[in-house]
A and B are shown apart, each in its own frame.
Chain A
Amino acid sequence: MSTGVSYNDQGGAEAAVEAGQESTPTSSSTGAAFGLFSADFKKMSSVLRNEDLKEMLESNKESLKLEAMKRIVGLIAKGKSASELFPAVVKNVASKNIELKKLVYVYLVRYAEKQQDLALLSISTFQRALKDPNQFIRASALRVLSSIRVPIIVPIMMLAIKEAAADLSPYVRKTSAHAIQKLYSLDPDQKEQLIEVIEKLLKDKSTLVAGSVVMAFEEVCPDRIDLIHKNYRKLCNLLVDVEEWGQVVIISMLTRYARTQFTSPWTEGAEFDENKAFYDSDSEEKKDQTEAKPYIMDPDHRLLLRNTKPLLQSRNTAVVMAVAQLYWHLAPKHEVSIVTKSLVRLLRSHREVQYIVLQNIATMSIQRKGMFEPFIKSFYVRSTDATHIKTLKLEILTNLANEANISTILREFQTYVKSQDKAFAAATIQAIGRCATNISEVTDTCLNGLVLLLSNRDETVVAESIVVIKKLLQTQPTQHGDIIKHMAKLFDNVTVPMARASILWLMGEYCEKVPKIAPDVLRKMAKTFTAEEDIVKLQTVNLAAKLYLTNSKQTKLLTQYILNLGKYDQNYDIRDRTRFIRQLIVPNEKSGALSKYARRILLAPKPAPGLESAFKDRDRYQLGTLSHSLNLKATGYQELPDWPAVAPDQSVRNVEIVEPLRESAPIVGKTKQPKSDKFYSDDEDEKEEEGSDSSGSGSEDSSSSSEESGSESEEESSEDSEKTSSDSGKSSSGSEKSSSESESDQKKKKKTKKAPQKKSKPAGDSDSDENGNGPVGQASSSSSESSSDSESDSESDSPAPKKKTEEKAKPKVAVNSKKEVSLLDLDDFSPAPTNAPKPSVLSQSLLSDLEGLSLSNISSTVQVTTSSFGPLKTYELLHHMTGKGLSAKYHFPRQPCLYQPSMVAVQVILTNSSDHALEEIHIGDQSPASLNIHCFNTIERLEPGASVTVSMGIDFSDSTQAANFQLCTKEDQFSVSIQPAVGELLMASTMTEQDFCKEQGKLQGMNEASATITMATANASRQAINKQVLSVANVGEVPSSQNNFSRFAGQTVSSRALVLVSLELSESSGALLTINTEKSVMASMLLQDLKQALAQA
């Protein structure tokens, strides 16, 4: 023991020195001082080595322990057993040193199965860690706990999984999804309980969790397709943001799902319909009209296709392949070809990737030549390709061959035949044979070419040519006596059995065409019969029999001789065949009846063999799967179901209104969440994205989603309207929710340095302790939900004043919520306004008050909203004289723009005052080009006297620069321009007086513009002031406690800069007008406008 201790002391320091440089016990780069020890070390037997390691592990020096663990891991890596050390290692499971702990975990997971009892010692450590405030520690504890394959702890694991599935951290929830699979493989009896957990996790909105839980779903209960229904749309929408490995799993699951839930898009009617739509500029709308056709693609089906398409650009080849197979199995025929380019791109990747992709292309190219034909050159073989790649490329080239390109392909083949890779050359000859049978134009050319190859010096080439020629000749034997003769001459030189057998068969089959040569060949064969391969022997017997029947005079004796040889052959097949042939052809008393038909049996015309692709039958497997690659059913392969004849109920995918409060506060994927609410997003969402990047990307989606679904509902047919209205209700509640979440996030950010357990509080709680306003905020969120519910209906109605208030109020909330989300948004770097959550909470509370319509202190607020909506100024866009009968007027509805939040909504009223109908009214060229205009859809026809109101969105970028564009009809174009008043570039916002003053304080100096104005006497009253101000600018009034102060707040539409207007009345008719905003140009312009407005009666 004393030696051990002294060694420890000495070795400890040394080992520490060594720790960094050396991690395996065998590597020899050690310092001089250590050399002695390491030499000794190697000599020791493994028992002694283990003793050493044990001592090191039991020492109290961290570095020594770590060194020991590193050596043990080295042993494990080499596949050597280190299980005896288990007790010593397990003691360190609770170590403080992270690396040591990790290595112990590695060890535990590896050996726990073998040492179950001892492994239990470590469980309590993990159980404790599962409660750790740090999410990473919780996650890693669950990971290790579930990786220990000890059946006894199944209940503990189950409990841990259930708890983790409800964890606040999405990372822990992800880990729990992984643990589900582990537990299931350990104890399949837990299935039912696990399915419950999966069901719960499937509802999770975090992109982190999605991939893992779908993986668990696939492993545990792939048949429970019903669990997917409610999550289908969410998964589709989340897909782009899920990590790449998860994408693969989700896509393949959704492929299966879609095959069970939608009807086939491959019917004739569908084809026609889609094609027609293709030629229409605005296909979406057009389709709705022409949807009398039998096939209508389910919008959910379309959603899946649309959301997977961008993933074709993924750098992950597995993702690209997954999307490709999804399109192959699900998309209408004419859409499949969009995957071609991406698949061809994968061919530039690693060899193994090429292999798999080429296999899949080979299968696809059989059914759909056209898809890959333009890329035929990508499949040209290079001399550096591996053989299996070459063969696959050859396969594809052959599949793609047609009359038009056959000459180029054959020229390529000609080079390949000369390749030094003989196996490949042989495969090329096969390919030429296939081309010859498939394309009758070139059959002769190919046959001639192949015959030329018979004089090739290489035997494999010759042999392969013979085999192929044999097959070709069968298709047209008449004129090719010459070739058969030629082959007979080659016979002596050919040694490859298959080729010899082929020649013999040809001789026999067409013995009447070569009556002189055939018996001679048989004679030669009789001499060498015993030395031949089995397959050659069989064909010799065959030839003998056929010759006996046609030319018995010359060959009778030869045949008998061969049959006698065959009778005593070692191979039973040959003996059997000989016996059979003898009975068949040599008439004797026993077999009288049959021998009469011998000729008809043996010399019956035989159908030519079709030369088919080896990939012909692979399409029974789903593309991209292991089974497809191996062409055999792999364990766990799930058949791709066939389309149902009638689609199951599609309403199962509708999602009801989501509970206002989520049980677990998600932080991650914040920007993505709103997307999940977007159901029927159409082309517009792409345009939306354009502008949104400039002012905070994902966040806008939250607002636009509700609007979008609203706008969609107009387009939808009436039967859908019920559903969509509920959808829009849901989505608006989504944006609402995100606002409340963002608050809690906000707070978290501030408080991260404080007690960490605060973090894990649910969103609602943190709301309420922010400013005691929480419960109100929550209530109001639900109330605004209901208001938004009604909104989509009320939009088209003539607005009653009360509805107006709701309608007006609702967008305001949306504005606020948007702003706050963008604060959190990592993609967003535009300087975010600094007034954070409070106003939104307040506005919510105001709203809830509004809902109750208690008349106590809100009269002013009501005025704000109504008056801001008040008298609309209408401007002339196009006079009917200049417009040749078409007149256009526009006004600013002062509503948030539907298309992009950074746009100003403009409504244009088009009137036809001519005597003939105007057709195709649309917007043409725009200038300046930078101006972002969302055009209205083309108006097909406007009858004389009729007028139509359309809405546009223009992003003025907070400048009063005019938007010039052309208004076009079928015949004419008119240049028009919209010049916004500065006040229209604002959006009203609500805030408290307190906040107002605070913000105003921040916007001093440069950002302040003020002027003393003289008020018209008519404007003395407060209401009059409000009216005047609101007519000029779209701002919201701020409730004021002082009588002589009027305050208004707004923000610019594009950059969301705050604009604060305050008006201080002095005793006389004078007043001090102050405007505070970052946009100083706007400030001065607004000042002018207001001054003018207030000065006049």
Chain B
Amino acid sequence: MIHSLFLINASGDIFLEKHWKSVVSRSVCDYFFEAQERATEPENVPPVIPTPHHYLISVLRHHIYFVAVIQSEVPPLFVIEFLHRVVDTFQDYFGVCTEAAIKDNVVVVYELLEEMLDNGFPLATESNILKELIKPPTILRTMVNTITGSTNVGEQLPTGQLSVVPWRRTGVKYTNNEAYFDVVEEIDAIIDKSGSTITAEIQGVIDACVKLTGMPDLTLSFMNPRLLDDVSFHPCVRFKRWEAERILSFIPPDGNFRLLSYHVSSQNLVAIPVYVKHNITFREGSSQGRFDLTLGPKQTMGKAVESVLVSSQLPRGVLNANLNPSQGTYTFDPVTKLLTWDVGKINPQKLPSLKGTMSLQAGASKPDENPTINIQFKIQQMAISGLKVNRLDMYGEKYKPFKGIKYMTKAGKFQICPYNTPFTGFSLTVLTNQIHVFR
């Protein structure tokens, strides 16, 4: 399946290669570089590139291209999913997945890759198993290893690989037994200029951090499970139980994991927690444009909207922006034309606003498009869909764990689009007039 893997950084250097079958020359990456050159943006490199003898499937994460070389038919998602799993594993191990981190830990990386694939077929991709095989490098362990000369490789061989719960380590022990669950919801929305919603949907995840001794069996139930429309589970969740009772029953992996991701059914109306009033105008013939933007909270159930960040790609003709924020700071990058305004918290009494002028290139014609405005925000202690965890029970172990649950709402892809004209068709009369003018 997967023949080789090349790691390529933003400047186009191959800084790591790994082969699972016979060696594939790194010149195969030239085809990739070609495609990279053709693409205007790094994201535009096509994920699947055919070459005369091989196929390259790549993912881009953290400004690193992970390019897998394959030789014959394989579902591309299989490779893509695996590559993402590799990145996740690196991130899990090293905290960050950067070129520097990978280079610093090249031996661990190699050992990991060796365990994750056998002859190109995934072998162990569960983080818990890998961590038993190869200990993640920590400062403490590095010190200890230096002194005692011991290694990163686990002394014991993981039995988890053989058990029916391959995701859980055996012999877990904690003095403080705790289980934390974070319900994080994201709103994806496109809102038109007048404030009416074009699309809005809520996606949520439940991330868990479970540190419990032994083999606990947890059940998590919701007050309103009907809200969850489409769900995908960590393999530990018993599907039948969910089908029948809408209860999450599982033996958790040790440590951090994503228990569930879900989509809130589209029948429910999505509450939009912020509104934006904006007015960005350019006048024909003038070298100035006006910029006026005000933010305000809406449907937040009394919770504060925090960490608000507004960003917008201004038209190319804009040379500079001279704006005055009522709170927070703004930056305008004259090269990329990206305007960002770090608002902070929205105070409902005194709404934040950003006003001022933009200077345009002299002689350039009026930009014909208005910019799209992207907004990010966070609301603590609230799941916007109203999802509530009812209770968490533990079976199978005697002790009483500490349980915690946290809710948060975030903006996902939250866009304010600059138009609100419904499509009624372009009128032909305008056209005929134009033609008359031509004559």
A residues neighboring B (CB under 8 Å): 16-21, 23-24, 27, 62-63, 66, 70, 73-74, 76-79, 97-100, 102-103, 105-106, 110, 113, 134-136, 143, 146-147, 149, 169-171, 175, 178-179, 181-182, 185, 208, 212, 215, 240-241, 243-245, 248, 252, 310, 313-318, 320-322, 341-342, 344-345, 348, 350-353, 355-357, 377-378, 380, 382-384, 386-388, 407-408, 410-411, 413-415, 418-420, 442, 444-445, 448-449, 451-452, 455-457, 482, 485-486, 489, 624-627, 629-630, 632, 634-638, 667-672, 686-687, 689-690, 693, 697, 826-827, 829
- Contact indicator B203/A348 (Cβ below 8 Å): yes
Is there a chain A Cβ closer than 8 Å to B391's Cβ? no
* A348 contacts across to B, CB distance below 8 A: 203, 263
* A136 contacts across to B, CB distance below 8 A: 157
- Contact indicator A318/B261 (Cβ below 8 Å): no
* Contact status of A626 and B55, CB under 8 A, knowing A16-B146, A377-B199: yes
How far is B42's CA from A387's CA once the two chains are assembled, in angstroms? 11
- Contact indicator B415/A482 (Cβ below 8 Å): no
- Contact indicator A310/B107 (Cβ below 8 Å): no
How far is B145's CA from A448's CA once the two chains are assembled, in angstroms? 74
Q: Identify which of residues 101-151 in chain B touch chain A, using a CB-to-CB cut-off of 8 Å.
A: 103-111, 114, 118-119, 121-123, 125, 137, 141-146, 149, 151
Other-chain contact of B415, A382, A410, A624 (Cβ < 8 Å): A382
Q: Secondary structure at chain B's binding surface: helix, strand, loop or mixed?
A: mixed
Question: Could you list 8 examples of A-B contacts with CB < 8 Å?
Answer: A62-B149, A78-B16, A102-B153, A317-B81, A350-B84, A486-B438, A637-B73, A693-B241
- Contact indicator A313/B231 (Cβ below 8 Å): yes
- Contact indicator B41/A355 (Cβ below 8 Å): no
How far is B121's CA from A314's CA once the two chains are assembled, in angstroms? 19
B residues neighboring A (CB under 8 Å): 1, 14-19, 21-23, 26, 40-41, 43-44, 46-48, 50, 55, 57-61, 70-78, 80-84, 103-111, 114, 118-119, 121-123, 125, 137, 141-146, 149, 151-153, 155, 157, 161-166, 190, 198-199, 201, 203, 215, 217, 229-235, 238-241, 243-245, 249, 251, 258, 261, 263, 313, 315-316, 365, 368-369, 372, 374, 395-396, 413, 415, 417, 419, 421-423, 425-428, 430-432, 434-435, 438
- Contact indicator B149/A686 (Cβ below 8 Å): no
* B110 contacts across to A, CB distance below 8 A: 73, 76-77, 103, 106
- Contact indicator B146/A77 (Cβ below 8 Å): no
**Residue in chain B with minimal CB distance to A482:** B435
* A630 contacts across to B, CB distance below 8 A: 48, 50, 55
**Residue in chain B with minimal CB distance to A75:** B106
**Residue in chain B with minimal CB distance to A698:** B164
How far is B72's CA from A637's CA once the two chains are assembled, in angstroms? 7
Whole-angstrom distance from the CB of B20 to the nearest CB of chain A?
A: 8
How far is B164's CA from A502's CA once the two chains are assembled, in angstroms? 65
* Contact status of A449 and B425, CB under 8 A, knowing A147-B119, A178-B118: yes
Other-chain contact of B75, A252, A313, A672 (Cβ < 8 Å): A252
Whole-angstrom distance from the CB of A1087 to the nearest CB of chain B?
A: 31
* B41 contacts across to A, CB distance below 8 A: 386-387
* A413 contacts across to B, CB distance below 8 A: 423
**Residue in chain A with minimal CB distance to B39:** A387
- Contact indicator B423/A414 (Cβ below 8 Å): yes
Q: Which 5 A-B pairs rank lowest in CB-CB distance, beginning with the nearest?
A: A636-B72, A829-B396, A411-B423, A99-B151, A689-B240
Other-chain contact of A245, B43, B78, B239 (Cβ < 8 Å): B78
How far is B145's CA from A78's CA once the two chains are assembled, in angstroms? 25
Whole-angstrom distance from the CB of A847 to the nearest CB of chain B?
A: 30
How far is B319's CA from A973's CA once the two chains are assembled, in angstroms? 80
- Contact indicator B425/A245 (Cβ below 8 Å): no
How far is B111's CA from A414's CA once the two chains are assembled, in angstroms? 52
* B229 contacts across to A, CB distance below 8 A: 341
* B22 contacts across to A, CB distance below 8 A: 113, 149
* B151 contacts across to A, CB distance below 8 A: 66, 97-100
- Contact indicator B263/A170 (Cβ below 8 Å): no
* A248 contacts across to B, CB distance below 8 A: 75, 78
- Contact indicator A106/B240 (Cβ below 8 Å): no
Known: A21-B146, A442-B425, A482-B435. 20 other contacts (CB 8 A): A20-B145, A23-B104, A23-B108, A24-B106, A73-B106, A79-B14, A79-B26, A99-B111, A103-B111, A248-B75, A318-B81, A351-B59, A352-B84, A353-B77, A418-B419, A420-B313, A486-B435, A626-B48, A629-B48, A668-B162
Other-chain contact of B240, A245, A420, A445, A686 (Cβ < 8 Å): A686
Other-chain contact of A448, B18, B372, B431 (Cβ < 8 Å): B431
**Residue in chain A with minimal CB distance to B16:** A77
Other-chain contact of A627, B14, B73, B103, B107 (Cβ < 8 Å): B73
**Residue in chain A with minimal CB distance to B263:** A345
* A98 contacts across to B, CB distance below 8 A: 151, 153, 155
**Residue in chain B with minimal CB distance to A69:** B107
